[in-house]
Amino acid sequence: MKKLVSILMILAMIVPLAGAQSTDIFKKKKKKKSKTEAVDKAKADSIAKSKKDALQPYAKVITGKAKTMDGFFKVHYVDGKYFFEIADSLFGRDILIVNRVVKAPVDAQKRKVGYPGDYISDEVIRFEKGRGDKLFVREISYLEHSADTLGMYQAVLNSNVQPIVATFPLKTVRKEGETTNYVIDMTDYIRKDNEMFSFTSRVKDNIGASSMVDDASYIDTLKAFPQNIEIRTVRTFQRKKGGGSGLEKLLAAFFATSTTPLTYELNSSMLLLPKEPMKPRLHDDRVGYFAVSYKDFDENPQGVKYKANITRWRLEPKDEDREKYLRGELVEPKKPIIIYIDPVTPKKWVPYLIQGVNDWQAAFEKAGFKNAIFGKEAPTDDPTWSLEDARHSAIVYKPSDIPNASGPHVHDPRSGEILETHINWYHNVMSLLYNWYIVQAGAIDPGARKPMFDDELMGELVRFVSSHEVGHTLGLRHNFGSSNTVPVEKLRDKIWVEANGHTPSIMDYARFNYVAQPEDNVSRSGIFPRIGMYDKWAIEWGYRWMPEYETAEAEIPHLNKWIIEKLREDKRYTFGTELDRNDPRNQSEDLGDDAMLASSYGIKNLKRVMPEIMNWTYEPNEGYMKAVRLYQNVVGQFDLYMGHVATNVAGIYHNPISVEQTDMKAVEYVPKDIQKKAVDFLNKELFTTPTWLMDDKLSERTGINTFNSIYRVQSSTLKQLLSSRTLDKMTDNELVNGAKAYTANDLFRDLKKSIWSDMQGGKKPDASQRSLQKTYVNALIGMLDKPKNSSGSLGSLGGYSLVAFDFPSEAPTIARGQLTDLRRDLTNAANASSGIYRSHYLNLKALIDAAFDVK
């Protein structure tokens, strides 16, 4: 899904100065006061104001009418007002505020935020006693860290003053033993528009909201609990009017279908963070966890070290089980992870969603904990239970046409401790699952060959996605490199693949086993993803309780040695980041350690699906929309295979290593023979028109233009190969490896075998090849128009540049040389041709002439 761009608008404000002046004409002139009278008046006003603002007796503010709720601070409701009574023991304590959507307008669901449970924002605040009779609220950031009170600590504090974001006059004070409680009126602040308890300005731009309508906004409910305060508000906003460019007006018309206001129901959870943060575990690039980054001024006495804590739940053994745990016995944690299923979820999917959660229990056993995670149905008979309560984690079912699911989480920014999760489960994710499975598994699973799957098959698909999203809420990132650690032929080995799965990680985007062939007789256990050996190892690495180490820094030598041993034991423990587009091992939707071999098997299965499209999607009294979608997904799958192969060309392997891993290199270029094999594969399967994707009967019935579908794949792949980025990587490889490198000259020579076969004695180019040749020429011309600057970078991991070019790009030079040779060949070809072929060659030559500015 593409992110929708928010629209910035300019609001014209008209100040009625003339009108204001004209009304003064009719005012009766008053006698001017003397200077002494003015001073006396100011003193009197000051005295009256001080009396008005003076602290009142407690019983006069919190009267007998008060309805009091005991939370981690008291909340009083008196005559329509909400008073917070905050003990001085809470001053300086970190409080996390999490804002979510409860209800939203129908058209708001077209935007990024608009469904029940949608996350809006979070921030950490602290209350503190201010000057005079005031209470301050500060917004707290943890981007910088120093605990060295004798060194950098004070300097860091001085350069990192936390902003005061709100000030409240004290209404009254109450002594309770040695504790002093301070009472403030929060009513107006909560009710009015502010980023602490409402939308941020960025989100307001996204939903098309402007100013809040005060008389249509109010506090609905406010409840206090021992660890959290829950605030429910109704907020109504004026819609932003379209303005600016024609595109902005068009988008505004799409998003704001009416001029009526936007009313949202929001929930704000104020969560008291632990007084003592959980001991963090420091991030390591070789194990895939989300992390909270910060600058540490202590560890490097001569500089700054950038560090990150992984995000994970706090799992510790019960006090009475500590020794059992340390002896290696499985014990239950003090507080297990419980993920509830939204009560509105269709009942037939609930067991599968729960099983997707419970599947992770085996992984936590590797970390020493049994019964560490549960999926449960949300209680329907408990009035105190709320889906928006920050103490409760849930899979939230959303009646949406968005074909997706996502697993975010809220964490303590001080330590990375995960506090709760609201997994987004969009109803239409099932259409995505249907399309994936029928295309990738239809050739080997007869149950996939129908317009609608039975509940058992769809339920197992739901379970797999549930497990994947729960993995994210446990802190795990996508592991795109996992599937690359499995030899392709193992995916056809029924016994092996059913025992081990087709990828070692469910966190990979390795959907289903498209390599297996019908004759392999692989069952669904060898087709579906599952929680694999990498996932269990990652949970063990992140969640193993290590009380023998006092600090996170003290754990590092043990954790580093542990990783090295695991990787030497079995490469299937490898993590491959989803953030590196240069490494062909770390690709989305791929399988196996050989993209060319895996893709050839995948194409064989697609060729089996193609002639069955109308049969498998046939429904009485329906049209051909499902057939159209299935064909589009077949082409999309073919496109993925071509991308997997093309990424090997000018590919770079990046290996995060520590100094102890002397047997590995941090950077390696894809070997020459593999790059050549990739180009040869593309010549055969793509640049020679894949006519098997053309079906006259399908085109007649559906109106699909198969020629355009094929050309889009050819064009996008060719443009990837013929780009400044690709040629610059090849230039760098040649500088480093010399004759061992696959060079730009090698690439052009190999591509000409298919794309320009007519220039080498082949037959005249058909319409498909002519279109490809024009794309080829325009891609080279594009490099002339946009030469690369002298300080490019291919990307970075962990803050370090991987490959940087300190020399000017040679892509324009290479492109000009290729175009010069091609221009000569086109002249000769035009002279030897007639009709459409002659015109085609002359047109390409004219394009080059124009680029060269030939007079």
More confidently predicted of 41 and 441: 441
Asked whether residue 268 falls in the same domain as residue 323, the answer is no
Question: For residue 393, which of 350, 423, 364, 414 has the smallest C-alpha distance?
Answer: 423
Helical (H) or strand (E) element with 341: strand 337-341
Which range among 243-257, 788-802, 821-835 shows the weakest confidence by mean pLDDT? Answer: 788-802
Q: Is the pLDDT of residue 35 over 70?
A: no
Per the DSSP assignment, residues forming a β-bridge with 411 are 418
Please answer whether residues 7 and 205 qualify as being in contact, where contact means their C-beta atoms are separated by less than 8 angstroms: yes
Are the CB atoms for 339 and 373 separated by under 8 Å?
Answer: yes
Least confident of 11-15, 404-408, 476-480, 693-697: 11-15
* Ranges of H-type helices in 756-788: 767-785
pLDDT of residue 298: 64
Secondary structure string (H, E, C) spanning 619-675? CCCCCCHHHHHHHHHHHHHHHHHHHHHHCCCCCEEECCCCCCCCCCCCEEECCHHHH
pLDDT in tens, 388-440: 777 889 999 988 788 888 888 889 999 999 999 999 898 899 999 999 999 99
Closest Cα partner for 73 from 223, 276, 277? 223
Same domain as 212, residue 332: no
| 247 and 395 co-located in one domain | no
Residues 106 and 241 in one domain: yes
**Angle 455-473/350-358 helices, nearest 10 degrees?**
40
Q: Which of 369, 403, 431 is the last residue of a domain?
A: 431
Residue pair 437/465 in contact by the 8 Å Cβ criterion: no
Backbone angles phi, psi at 134, to 5 degrees: -135, 155
Confidence of residue 803 (pLDDT cuts 50, 70, 90): very low
Residue 260 lies in a domain: yes
Q: What is the pLDDT of residues 285-339, one digit of tens each?
A: 999 999 998 777 666 655 566 789 999 999 999 999 999 999 999 999 999 999 9
> How far is 850 from 844, CA to CA, in rounded Å?
10
Residue 228 and residue 247: Cα distance in Å, rounded?
A: 44
Band (102; pLDDT cuts 50, 70, 90): confident
Higher pLDDT pick, 504 / 306 = 504
- The predicted-structure confidence for 245-285, as pLDDT tens digits, reads as follows 444 445 555 544 557 899 999 999 999 999 999 999 999 99
Q: What is the number of other CB atoms lying within 10 angstroms of the CB of residue 307? A: 18
What are the contacts of 360-365 at 24+ separation with CB within 8 A?
Answer: 360/467, 360/470, 360/471, 360/474, 360/531, 360/539, 362/531, 362/536, 363/531, 363/535, 363/536, 363/539, 363/540, 364/315, 364/539, 364/543, 365/330
Residue 540, number of CB atoms within 10 A of its CB: 18
Residue 687, domain member (yes or no): no
Does some domain include residue 220?
A: yes
Q: Distance between CA atoms of 629 and 609, rounded to whole angstroms?
A: 13
| Mean pLDDT, rounded, for 553-565 | 97
Same structural domain for residues 127 and 257? yes
Q: 324 and 421 share a domain?
A: yes
Check whether 20 has a pLDDT greater than 80.
no
SS3 string, 511-569, reads CCCCCCCHHHCCCHHHCCCCCCHHHHHHHHHHHCCCCCCCCHHHHHHHHHHHHHHHHHH
Q: How far apart are CA 100 and CA 199, in angstroms?
A: 9
pLDDT band at 141 (very low <50, low <70, confident <90, very high): confident
Which of 412, 431, 450 terminates a domain? The answer is 431
Residue 542 inside a domain? The answer is no
CB 844 within 8 A of CB 773: yes
For 191-216, what is each residue's pLDDT tens digit? Answer: 999 999 999 888 888 888 899 999 99
Is 230 or 806 the better-scoring residue by pLDDT?
230
Distance CA 291, CA 293 (A): 6
Q: Which two tokens stand for residue 732?
A: 């760098």
pLDDT of residue 405: 87
Q: What is the DSSP string of 727-745?
A: HHHHHHHHHHHGGGS--HH
Q: Are 265 and 328 contained in the same domain?
A: no
* Average pLDDT, integer, range 835-839: 96
Shared domain for 137 and 241, answered yes or no, is: yes
Structure tokens at 586: 């770390």
Q: ∠ CA(644), CA(648), CA(654), 5° rounding?
A: 105
**What is the per-residue pLDDT for 849?**
95
Q: Where a domain ends, among 415, 431, 447?
A: 431
Give Cα 528 to chain centroid, integer Å: 23
pLDDT greater than 60 at residue 495: yes
pLDDT (mean) for 628-636: 97
Shared-domain flag, residues 164 and 259: yes
State the Cα–Cα distance between residues 155 and 69, nearest whole angstrom: 41
Question: Domain for residue 188, yes or no?
Answer: yes
Q: What are the tokens at 261?
A: 């206001």
Q: What are phi and psi of 76, to 5 degrees?
A: -115, 140
Single-letter code of the amino acid located at 181: N
Distances (CA, A) of 7 to 101, 104, 201, 212, 825: 21, 20, 12, 18, 50
For Cα atoms 120, 123, 127, give the angle at the middle one, nearest 5 degrees.
140
Mean pLDDT value across the chain = 87
- Among 160-174, 384-398, 448-462, 541-555, the minimum mean pLDDT is found in 384-398
Q: Are 99 and 87 in contact (CB under 8 A)?
A: no
Average pLDDT over residues 212-240: 93
Together in a domain, 174 and 261: yes
- Here the tokens at position 385 are 């239970």
Task: Give the helix ranges, DSSP H, for 134-191.
Answer: 153-158, 187-191
Determine contact, residues 309/347, Cβ cutoff 8 Å. no
With a cut of 60, say whether residue 581 has pLDDT above it. yes
What is residue 243's predicted lDDT score, i.e. its pLDDT?
Answer: 42
Q: Considering only CA atoms, which of 673, 644, 675, 820 is closest in space to residue 747?
A: 675
Mean pLDDT across 475-498: 98
Mean pLDDT of the region 226-236? 93
What's the rounded Cα separation, in Å, for the pair 358 and 398?
A: 22
**Taking 90 as the threshold, does the pLDDT of residue 855 lie above it?**
no
Which residues have CB under 8 Å from 387's CB, separation 6+? 116, 117, 340, 342, 343, 378, 394, 396
Which DSSP string corresponds to 417-474? BEEE-EEEEETTHHHHHHHHHHHHHTTT-GGGSSSS--HHHHHHHHHHHHHHHHHHHT
80 phi, psi to nearest 5 deg: 80, 5
Domain membership flag for residue 665: no
Please tell me whether residues 258 and 110 are part of one structural domain: yes
Residue 158 lies in a domain: yes
477 in a domain, yes or no?
A: no
Same domain for 356 and 209: no
Six-digit token pair at 158?
């001085």
Return d(Cα 437, Cα 429) in angstroms, integer. 12
Give the range of the structural domain holding residue 362, as residue numbers without chain letter: 319-431
Q: How many domains does the chain have?
A: 2
The fraction of the chain above a pLDDT of 90, given in percent, is: 74
Residue type, 24: D
Give CA–CA dist 62/184, Å, rounded.
11
Burial (CB < 10 A; 0-12, 13-18, 19+), residue 339, is: buried
> Tokens standing for 194?
């502010």
